[in-house]
Amino acid sequence: MNNSESNSSSIIAALLLATGIGLAGYFISETLYKSKIALNTADVKGLAERRVEADTAYWSVHYTVSGSKKKDIPALYQKSELDQLQVISLLLDSGFSSEEVTPGVISYFKQEFRDDKQKLVEEKHVLVGEIDVQTSQVRLVAEVRSKLNKLIAEGLDIKNNPPAYHFTQLNDIKPDMLKEATTNARLAANEFATNAGVKVGGIRSARQGGFVIRDVGENYGDTKKIEKDVRVVTNVTFFLTD
């Protein structure tokens, strides 16, 4: 190998060595920087809760008439329409408006009963009607449900379905609840910082959890009760300073 080739090899080796040292220094400094950030932050959770009431109720009432002969169907329809009027009258007299009460269609079903030889021994013709109530008078729903017992006592075949209570004003309380959750997170961070002998700085990052609505006293479900609990948890990372 001549002197020119030897000098070139030495230069390349020196450059590679310098590059390796530079990269090693970068990774070491990057690791120390990230480690410093991790040590100088606090991850905390903030909780906010509200007790609210449902603002909308959905309720349906089914009424049924039946007969054993096909020729009775016209009379059954007349009886079904009379039952419908009785139910609607009770609802309107109790305080619901006509806009809140919607009568549905009357459905027809036929049932056949046969013996072991598949001979028809009996048939039943059934008409089922439905009346829907959608209202913001959620307290009134519970009151009127008991009044339907009067119609049952008069001979109406009524199915008094459980109402569904919904809280639809979540967007109205979201800002205040998020503010409260963040404030509670800072309080938790301050307690941690005091014990560690440091101070809480600004927010490095924040993640909002989902809003959860539950019926009061229930672990799941949000439609059975008028009163409900709303909660949200935020995850906040604060900077810590000396």
Per residue in 19-78, pLDDT tens?
443 333 332 223 233 434 455 888 999 999 999 999 999 999 999 999 988 888 999 999
177 and 116 belong to one structural domain: no
**Is residue 231 located within the same domain as residue 199?**
yes
pLDDT of residue 115: 76
Looking at the structure, tell me whether residues 158 and 199 fall in a common domain.
no
CA distance 143 to 18: 85
Residues 198 and 222 in one domain: yes
Amino acid 71: pLDDT = 86
Alpha-carbon dihedral angle through residues 179, 180, 183, 185, given to the nearest 10 degrees: -110
What 3 state SS string does the chain have?
CCHHHHHHHHHHHHHHHHHHHHHHHHHHHHHHHHHHHHHCEEEEEEEEEEEEECCEEEEEEEEEEEECCHHHHHHHHHHHHHHHHHHHHHHHHCCCCCCCEEEEEEEEEEEEEECCCCCEEEEEEEEEEEEEEEECCHHHHHHHHHHHHHHHHCCCEEEECCCEEECCCHHHHHHHHHHHHHHHHHHHHHHHHHHHCCEEEEEEEEEECCCEEEECCCCCCCCCCCEEEEEEEEEEEEEEEC
- The answer on 75 and 18 residing in a single domain is no
**So what's the pLDDT on residue 7?**
46
Say yes or no: 88 and 154 in one domain. Answer: yes
Instruction: Return d(Cα 242, Cα 232) in angstroms, integer.
Output: 31
Same domain, residue pair 21 and 70: no
pLDDT at 193: 87
CATH of the domain at 205: 3.30.110.170
Boundary of a domain, candidates 165, 200, 222: 165
110 shares a domain with 16: no
* Domain end (from 165, 190, 218): 165
pLDDT recorded at residue 39: 57
Q: Which residues of the chain fall short of a pLDDT of 50?
A: 3-9, 11-37
Domain CATH code at residue 110: 3.30.70.2970
Domain end marker among 116, 142, 165? 165
* Domain extent at residue 190: 42-55+167-242
What's the number of domains the chain is made of?
3
Together in a domain, 177 and 142? no
Residue 171 shares a structural domain with residue 234: yes
